[in-house]
Chains A and B, each alone.
Chain A
Amino acid sequence: MEIFQGSEILMKSLLEEGVDVMFGYPGGQIMAVYDTLYYYTDKLRHILVRHEQGAVHAAQGYARIRRRPGVVIVTSGPGATNVITGIADAMADSTPLVVLAGQVGLSELGCDAFQEADVIGLTSPITKWNYQVRHASEVAWAVSRAFYIANSGRPGPVVLDLTRDAMIEFADYEYKKCDFIRTYIPKHDLSEKSIQDAADMINASEKPFVVFGHGVQISNAEKELKDFLSKGNIPAGSTLLGLSSLPTDFNLYQGMIGMHGNLACNVQTNECDLLIAVGMRFDDRVTRTLSSYAKQAKIIHIDIDPAEINKLVKVDLGIVGDAKEVLAALAKKMVFKERKDWLKAFDDLYEIEMNKVIKPAINPESGDIRMGEVVDVVSQRSGGNAVIVTDVGQNQMMAARYSQFKNSDSFISSGGLGTMGFGLPAAMGAKIAVPDREVCLFVGDGGLQMTIEEFGTIMQEKVAVKIVLLNNNCLGNVRQWQQLFFGGRLSFVDMINPDYQKLAEAYDIKYAEVTSRDQLTAAVDKMLQSDEPYLLNIHVMELDNVMPMVPMGHGIESIMLSEDEWYKKEN
Chain B
Amino acid sequence: MNQDRYTVLIYTEDQIGLLVQISNIFTRRSLSIWSMYAVPSNIENVHTITIIADGPEEKMIQAKMQLEKRMEVIRVYIDKGNTIEGWPMSPSATSQRDNEIEQFLNDRNKQIK
Contact = CB atoms under 8 A, between A and B. Distances in A.
A306 B65 contact: yes
Nearest to A149: B71
A121 B16 CA distance: 11
B13 interface: yes
Interface string B53-93: 00000000110011011011110000000000000000000
B71 A124 contact: no
Interface stretch (A29-37, A177-185, A332-340, A552-560): A177-185
B66 A128 contact: no
8 contacts: A124-B17, A124-B21, A128-B71, A132-B17, A183-B13, A183-B74, A183-B108, A307-B69
A129 interface: yes
Interface of A: 120-121, 124-125, 128-129, 132, 149, 179-184, 305-307, 310-311
B62 A311 contact: yes
A305 B62 contact: no
Interface in B13-39: 13, 16-17, 20-21, 24, 28
Nearest to B25: A125
A184 B13 CA distance: 11
Given A121-B20, A124-B17, A180-B112, A307 B71 contact: no
A180 B113 CA distance: 8
**Chain B interface mostly helix, strand, loop or mixed?**
helix
Nearest to A306: B65
Contacts of A128: 69, 71
A183 B17 contact: no
A380 B24 CA distance: 48
Given A307-B62, A307-B65, A310-B61, 13 more contacts: A120-B17, A124-B17, A124-B21, A125-B24, A132-B17, A179-B113, A182-B108, A182-B109, A182-B111, A183-B71, A183-B72, A183-B73, A307-B66
Residue picked from A120, A124, A306, A310, most chain B C-beta under 10 Å: A124
Contacts of A311: 62, 65
Contacts of A310: 61
A417 to B, nearest CB: 16
Nearest to A124: B21
Contact of A184 (B20, B71, B105): B71
A180 B20 CA distance: 25
A316 B24 CA distance: 30
Contacts of B62: 307, 311
A307 B69 CA distance: 8
